[in-house]
Amino acid sequence: MALHLPAIVTLLALFLFLYSCLAVGMARTKYGVAAPATTGNLDFERIFRVQMNTLEHLVLFLPALWLFSEYVSPVWAGLVGLVWLVGRLYYAVSYIKDAKSRGPGFMIGFVALLVLMIGAAVGIVLRMMAGL
| pLDDT number for residue 58 | 98
pLDDT in tens, 69-111: 999 999 999 999 999 999 999 999 999 999 999 999 999 999 9
User: Is residue 2 within 8 Å of residue 74, measured between CB atoms?
Assistant: yes
Give the span between the Cα atoms of 16 and 92, in whole angstroms. 10
Domain count, the chain: 1
First to last CA, the chain: 22
Render pLDDT for 2-56 as a digit per residue (tens, 0 to 9).
899 999 999 999 999 999 999 999 999 999 999 999 999 999 999 999 999 999 9
How sure is the predictor about 1, in pLDDT bands with cuts at 50, 70 and 90?
A: low
Residue 47 contacts residue 23 (beta carbons within 8 Å): yes
* Listed residue (81, 73, 79) closest to 2, CA to CA: 73
Amino acid at 120: A
CATH code for the domain in which residue 19 is found = 1.20.120.550
Measured in residues, the chain has a length of 132
Structural domain of residue 78, as residue ranges? 4-129
Residue 132 has pLDDT above 90, yes or no: no
Q: What confidence tens digit (pLDDT) does each residue in 115-131 have?
A: 999 999 999 999 999 98
